[in-house]
Structure 1
Amino acid sequence: MFASASPDNLKQWKCPDGRFIQNLTGHNAIINCLAVNPEGVLVSGADNGTLHCWDWRTGYNFQRLQAPVQPGSMDSESGIFSMTFDHSGSRLITTEADKTIKIYREDDTATEETHPIHWRPEIIKRRKY
């Protein structure tokens, strides 16, 4: 499978015939980049500095982040141009419009009690891939 980004949503596709699987919606900006790690976390970055974390299998958007702007930069310089995960798959590296490279990591202290997931699927789960 693979994903593609567009101005308003992400699309998942099935190989080898390129069959459309589902839309992942939620960004309110142009999506510039995508990255996925071995655990099935898909992250999308947009022109307005938002990062959305998705579960690859279900399409559930479980976290949204706003990239902080470098001190002295304008808010309009919060766009995310590219991103990738490191070899461990636990750190996300981004290049951004404010001329910075940022590294995001997992919160090791997060638990189900401190960071509950409110599962409200908008997408009907399809057959397994």
Structure 2
Amino acid sequence: MNPIKGTVNSVELIGWLRDEPEERFATNGMAIASFSVATKRRTIQQEDGTWMYETEWTDVEAHDKLAETVTMNLKKGSRVRVSGSLLTNTWQDRNGLKHKTTVVRVEDVMFLDIKMSMDDAVMAEASD
């Protein structure tokens, strides 16, 4: 990603997957894995002094080889750290109505609940 001078488009989330990643393929054959990440945010303080927490669901997309890795390694409830940038997808439906959705386009994902042996970690680093 090449940043444009004077702008920042950066997102980092640590949370849990809502469902299994859904894999699909673009017209050019590139794999795309879509999933939602749950995070918590603190909201209005209650009268008794306690805070309420709300779940925020963020739609995420991984592309190409990262999509394949995500699809093979993540499942519903997996804890992840994703970093990337916001991407707005636009399309027109059969009735001619225009639609827009904004997702996080993943550039890096860390699997937080996968336990690797030392040998597995060394092999993963060697393959990068």
Tell me the TM-score normalized by structure 2. 0.24
Higher strand share: 2
Higher helix share: 2
Tell me the TM-score normalized by structure 1. 0.24
The structure whose RCO (Cα within 8 Å, separation 6+) is larger is 2
